[in-house]
Amino acid sequence: MTDQISVLYVDDEPDLLDLGKIFLERTGDFRVTIATGVKEALSAMEGSEFETIISDYQMPGMDGIGFLKHLRSHGNKTPFILFTGRGREEVAIEALNNGADFYLQKGGDPRAQFAELANKVRYAASHRRAEKQILDLQQRESEIINFLPDATFAIDTSHVVIAWNRAMERLSGISASEIIGKGDYAYAIPFYQKKRPMLIDFVLDNDPEMMEKYPSLIRQNHTLTAEITRPWVHNGKELYFWITACPLYDMKGNVIGAIESLRDITPLKKARELLEDTESRYRITLDASNEGIWDWNIKTGDAFFSPHWYTMLGYEPDEYPSTYKTWEILLHPDDIEITKNRIQEHISNKQEGYTIEFRMRTKQGGWKWIQARGRVIEWDEDGSPVRMVGTHADITALKQVEEKLRLDESRLETLLNLTQMTEKSMSDITHYALEEAVRLTLSEIGYVAFLSDDEAVLTIHAWSNVAMEECQIRDQKKLYPVAETGLWGEPVRQRRPVITNDYAAPDPLKRGLPPGHVSLTRHLGVPIVDGNRIVMLIGVANKTEPYGDEDIRQLTLLMNGVWNIIQRKQSEEALLRSNEELGAAYEEISATEEELRSQYNLISEKMEDIRESEERFRAVFNSTLVGIAITTPDGRWLYFNDALCSMLGYTAEELNQIRWTDITPAEDLVEEMKIFESVLAGKDPGNLEKRYIRKDGSIIDVLISTGIVRKQDGSIDYLCSIILDMSEKKASERLLREIEGQQRLIIENVHDPVVIVDFDGNVLYGNPAAFSICELPPGSLSSPLNIRDILSPESLEMSLADLAEIKRTGNPVINEYTIITQSGKVRTVEAAGHLIQWNGEDADLVSIRDITDRKEDKDALLQANRKLTILSSITRHDILNQVTALLGYLELLADHDLDPDIQQYIKKCLSCTTTIRSQIAFTKLVDDIRNKSLMWQYAERMITHVLEGYSIGQITCQVDLKGLYLYADPILEKVIFTLIENSIRHGENVTRIAFSYRIDDGDCIFVYEDDGSGIPDDEKEKIFRQGYGKHTGLGLFLIREILAINAMTISETGAWGSGARFEIRVPAGKWVVKEGMS
């Protein structure tokens, strides 16, 4: 800067005040005015203007933050720097929150400290001057806006007017001086006669309702444009405006407001309205022609479709995009190829035009026949088509008439074919007629049924081929009482044709379809009447289009003809049957004799098959590993396999001589006989566990599954049982119960509380110690007990989250909670939860330790530490102020040309004072150690945190500490920081540092190494002495002390010339490795 910066420096320490003034002014960039308090500073500010204010924090009367608040509350925005020895974080945060520009802590090297202060002052002053330049720039911008030809105004983010040019003044009749500075939408009054948001507000607020107020709104990135009509502007005339609005940005790209420009486009609007009126008359003419108009840009694929082009297909105008792709999508798949070929033929041959018919899909899902005419009207210079136009006409009605004539011809042809089928059976005739009925109605399936003389029973006579292929019903009925039929029987009951075009819709007449039946979408049933009696029912289904009267007409005419043919056929067949019956009677007598002979041979073959089957059964019966027995109702063994003999220890002859009741323990027999009698009564016992007495007298546990085989008269023939040996399983269950009993006995007698809870917090079990700590009667689980009844609200929320974590991961969780006893006492406990199985369900086993006394002692100790810290902080602040002043004056003396002996004394004074300052700084570190608790720290994350706050330049860092956790003070990071700093300062060209660990006899050796010059052998222990090294200070001495507090040791084990290597020995219990963690 060429001009000196005027600075006001406020501090209640005169020595520091004078020292600061000297250091700042000796640079020649500053002019410093000093004040020993806020009152004196305010007096100095009454007659002078300062570019920066420097203030101490702790001063009598009003402190530095109070001074800052006073200035800001009176609108004084002078840059403010809080320069204090108070190093608390909350002071810095409060200062910055109240508008301080910088926070700088005293207590360092005076020369470096005041150099940094000078830099902060320069930055703050230059920033203030830059703000003034911005204000000047804003004035120039305002002048530029005034010369814009369009009416233009701007607002800030609070919707307050900040610019209003002369064109706007002329348009609105309001001067800039009247409107600038006003908000609350006052700028809308000239245009809307009321306060309301305008387009400029939509830029800032993005209110969706604005879309309704500006129907013609167009957005291009952040710029909005729209057209509006305002009949009540300043001169009373109706005007049309083209409006543009966009955001205003500052130098950093932040939105600071918005600007809007209004241009009078009334002449252009009038011309446009005339054009639209002409186009409207053209569209009316097109609509009257009842044809859809299309205009296709062949190059781009874009198109124009007239409204009637859409409405003839049932769509709203512009419901589909106006593109060639839309026409292609709506075209019937079967017509695409032939239609495109016809259009291509027209283009290739450059014909005058073309006409083609095709189908297009309607909005209702049907199809309409369209007659299209078109021709190319524009070609490019290469002879390629550019534009094609044409019309679409709906010819569906004409096509329907043609289809009706075609169906009539087809039906007459079918009837003619039927009259010539004299040699065919009635089944062939009805099948042929049914397939033709399906074809004529464009259906997929169909059936024909005849009615009994009383019209009570329908007999299915024929199914269409497709229906038979798709039907999955195994046992297909043929006889259906009309009263039991569902929707398909309605034509008989109502005696008229019945159409169902939406079979899926609810209908009380439907009875449902059997499993495997062909699915139905549409159905048409038509009764065929002969005189007054319904003789036949024809049904068709699953037509693509809805069924209608034409389908009823075709089926009625066709099947009436079929009925006449059937009647004639039946008469002819009746005559033939009479002649054939006599001959058949003789043949039947002859056939009976032959049939008897065949049956005898068949019986002989069956007997042989039964014998072979019995032999196969016996082989399987005796080879199975489980016991199988067949017994009589009175308990005798009829048959049994070898496995049962082996299981019970008896021979087959011995088992044949006894009943199952003879080898059942006497104490079990009464109850088992009751079960046996219920089995004989027909009740299914399921699987039954029982005991047998083996031949050697031992007891065997078995599982029996029994079934009953009955005779034809329903009486019991025999019982068949499958018997499974359960001895080993029962022995395991008894052993498990013994183990569980021993575990419960241990838990009941431990001194620490133990509970088991489910994952809803219900207490399933608690030992006596658990009830005692809650002051509950022992075993008081007769009524439901939940952790909500004993935990404090804060602990309950934490406990439920821990339960969810255990259930989700299966990992144990340890935490502290607060419980409320029955008498209202508050107890603090440490609880460890583990996932277990309890009665076959997942549960949480919680072991609890009462730490109330330990917690109270800890809180009392923390309170004492806080008091000591506050006292130490105040004393340290005052001493450091004096030390800083002393160092400053010694630095000033050292700059003078004094006697060499005096210079030597000054250097020694500087050294001693610096040492005093370091020792005072050490007391701050002691406070930090005293106030921070031990905690588990993930080593890899700790290294990463240190590196994030410390630049190591081009040095590479290798970290191989996955899964390692250390239990120590959080200040352990200071050790890592110091080791890295020593490598950079003293390692001489270090390019790599590395962290790793190894396990040595139960201890963890935490290793740090670099590739620098290393430590000479004779200095490996000296480097840990206080003050030793290239820089006087605490350094490695301090980190050895920090580690000692945490029961850790450090040593240097590197080789001189190959880099430094520090090994920190962490004792057992202070480290853990968790596999898979990172």
- What's the token pair of residue 988? 């001489």
Q: Of 248, 36, 297, give the one whose Cα is nearest residue 145.
A: 248
**CATH number for the domain including 946?**
3.30.565.10
Same-domain pairing of 951 and 1005: yes
Under a CB-based contact definition with an 8 Å cutoff, are residues 959 and 995 in contact? yes
Check if the beta carbon of residue 82 is closer than 8 Å to that of residue 68: yes
Query: Considering only CA atoms, which of 15, 47, 50, 18 is closest in space to residue 34?
Result: 18
Say which residue, 933 or 754, is predicted with more confidence: 754
Q: What is the pLDDT of residue 236?
A: 60
Comparing CA positions, the residue from 913, 809, 926 lying closest to residue 865 is 926
* pLDDT of res. 727: 79
Is the domain of 358 the same as that of 408? no
Alpha helices, DSSP H, located in 392-529: 396-419, 426-440, 465-470, 490-494
Q: Are 89 and 65 in contact (CB under 8 A)?
A: no
For β-strands 385-394 and 445-451, DSSP reports them as unpaired
Q: At what angle do helices 396-419 and 549-623 cross, to 10 degrees?
A: 60
State the DSSP code for 1054.
P
Residue range 404-429: mean pLDDT, rounded = 69
Shared domain for 346 and 378, answered yes or no, is: yes
pLDDT computed for residue 69 by the predictor? 93
1045 part of a folded domain: yes
- Cα–Cα dist 1063/194, whole Å: 79
Same-domain pairing of 566 and 439: yes
> Which range has the worst mean pLDDT, 32-41, 780-789, 791-800?
780-789
Lowest-pLDDT range of 126-130, 157-161, 255-259, 609-613: 609-613
| 8-state DSSP, 487 | G
pLDDT exceeds cutoff 80 at 295: yes
* Cα–Cα distance for residue pair 473/518, rounded to 1 Å: 9
Q: Which two tokens stand for residue 684?
A: 């299914």
In 3D space, the residue among 720, 707, 727 whose CA is nearest the CA of residue 647 turns out to be 727
Residue type, 102: F
In a domain, 417, yes or no: yes
Sign, CA torsion 770/771/774/775? negative
Are 727 and 772 found together in one domain?
Answer: no
Share of the chain above pLDDT 90, in %: 19
Domain-terminating residue out of 544, 570, 596:
570
Q: Give the pLDDT confidence score for residue 915 in this predicted structure.
A: 65
Query: How far is 690 from 700, CA to CA, in rounded Å?
Result: 9
> CA-to-CA distance for 745 and 715, rounded, in angstroms?
56
In a domain, 494, yes or no: yes
Q: What share of the chain is helix, strand, coil (3-state, %, to 5)?
A: 45, 25, 30
Q: Which of 134, 161, 189 is the last residue of a domain?
A: 134
Q: Quickly state the pLDDT bin for 1029 (edges 50, 70, 90).
A: low
Q: Are residues 435 and 543 in the same domain?
A: yes
Residue 644 · residue 723 · CB < 8 Å: yes
- Name 279's Cβ contacts closer than 8 Å, sequence gap at least 6: none
- Mean per-residue pLDDT over the chain, rounded: 82
What the block records as the tokens of 240 is 């049309």
Nearest to 170 by CA among 194, 192, 153: 153
Taking residue 36's Cβ as centre, other Cβ atoms within 10 Å add up to: 16
Q: What does DSSP assign to residue 502?
A: -
Q: Are residues 425 and 511 in the same domain?
A: yes
Supply φ then ψ for residue 916, to 5 degrees: -60, -45
Residue finishing a domain among 696, 731, 766? 731
Q: Which helix (H) or strand (E) covers residue 622, if one does?
A: helix 549-623
Does residue 181 belong to any structural domain of this protein? yes
Is 843 in contact with 760 (CB distance < 8 Å)?
no
Among residues 256, 187, 248, 250, which one has the least CA distance to residue 222? Answer: 248
SS3 850: strand
What single letter denotes the amino acid at residue 518?
V
Of the candidates 446, 453, 456, the residue with the CA atom closest to the CA atom of residue 518: 446
In this structure, of 297-311, 460-474, 697-711, 824-838, the range with the lowest mean pLDDT score is: 460-474
Cβ atoms < 10 Å from Cβ of 361: 17
Q: Which two tokens stand for residue 262?
A: 């209004």
How many structural domains are present in the chain?
7
The reply to whether 885 falls in a domain is no
| pLDDT at 8 > cutoff 90 | yes
Residue 964: per-residue pLDDT: 92
Task: For residue 222, give its domain range.
Answer: 147-270
Mean pLDDT value of segment 128-143:
74
Is 123 contained in some domain?
yes
Cα dihedral 670, 671, 675, 680 in deg (nearest 10): 10
Strand-pair partners of 241: 228, 264
Q: What is the pLDDT of residue 92?
A: 81
pLDDT at 555: 85
- Angle, vertex CA 315, rays to CA 314 and CA 316, nearest 5: 130
In this predicted structure, the answer to whether residue 782 has a pLDDT above a threshold of 60 is no
% of the chain beyond a pLDDT of 70: 84
- Per-residue pLDDT at 884: 74
| pLDDT bracket for residue 1077 (50, 70, 90) | very low
**Tally of CA atoms within 13 A in the half-sphere of 287 that contains its CB:** 11
For residue 922, the model assigns a pLDDT of: 58
Same domain, 633 and 707: yes
Closest C-alpha to 310, from 325, 328, 296, 330: 330
CA dihedral 957, 961, 967, 969 (to 10 degrees): 10
Structure tokens at 230: 């305002």
CATH number of residue 303's parent domain: 3.30.450.20
In the numeric block, the tokens 């107890």 are attached to 827
The alpha carbon dihedral of 782, 788, 792, 797 has a sign of: positive
- Clarify whether residues 560 and 421 are in a common domain: yes
In a domain, 910, yes or no: no
328: tokens are 């292609």
Are 266 and 359 members of one domain?
no
Please tell me the predicted confidence (pLDDT) of residue 349: 85
Look-up: residue for tokens 């019209």?
455
Exposure on the CB side of residue 557, measured as CA atoms within 13 A: 18
Retrieve residue 270's tokens.
């009038």
pLDDT tens, residue by residue, 460-513: 888 888 877 877 776 777 888 988 888 888 999 999 999 999 888 888 888 778
Distances (CA, A) of 622 to 638, 646, 707, 1049: 14, 12, 19, 78
DSSP class of 348: H
- Residues 941, 831: Cα–Cα separation, whole Å: 27
Distance from C-alpha of 752 to C-alpha of 848, rounded to nearest angstrom: 6
Cβ burial, residue 659 (10 Å; 0-12/13-18/19+): middle
Residues 6+ apart with CB under 8 A from 1037: 1024, 1025, 1026, 1027, 1028
The confidence band for 603, taking pLDDT boundaries of 50, 70 and 90, is low
CA-CA distance, 232 to 192, in Å (whole number)? 8
Tens digits of residue pLDDT in 172-222 = 888 988 998 999 999 888 888 889 888 888 888 877 777 777 877 888 888
- Using only C-alpha atoms, what is the Rg of the chain? 52
Residue with more model confidence, 37 or 925? 37
Spatial strand order of the sheet with 935-938 comes to: 935-938, 964-968, 1071-1073
DSSP state of 662: G
In a domain, residue 421? The reply is yes
- Between CA 714 and CA 1040 the distance in angstroms is 97
123 shares its domain with 157: no
pLDDT tens digits, residue range 961-1019?
988 999 888 778 888 888 998 888 888 889 999 999 999 999 999 999 999 999 998 88
CA distance 819 to 1055: 58
pLDDT in tens, 698-749: 898 888 888 888 888 878 888 888 888 887 777 777 776 766 666 666 667 6
The mean per-residue pLDDT over the stretch 825-840 comes to: 88
Rounded CA separation 317/346 (Å): 29
| Nearest by Cα to 450 from 535, 366, 380 | 535
What is the spatial distance between Cα 1033 and Cα 1025, in angstroms, rounded to a whole number? 10
Do 963 and 1066 belong together in one domain?
A: yes
